[in-house]
Amino acid sequence: MGQNWTGENTLHTIKPQLTNQYHIKRFGLFGSVIRGDQSPDSDIDILVEFETPPSIFGFLELEEKLEEALQSPVDLVDIEGIKPLLRSKILSEVQYV
The answer to whether 45 is a known catalytic residue is: yes
Q: Which of 37, 45, 75, 78 is catalytic?
A: 45
By three-state DSSP, how is residue 39 classified? coil
The Cα–Cα gap between 19 and 65 comes to: 12
* Distinct helix (H) and strand (E) counts, the chain: 4, 4
The Cα–Cα gap between 61 and 22 comes to: 10
Q: Which of 37, 41, 43, 75 is catalytic?
A: 43
| 8-state DSSP, 23 | T
Residues with a known catalytic role: 43, 45
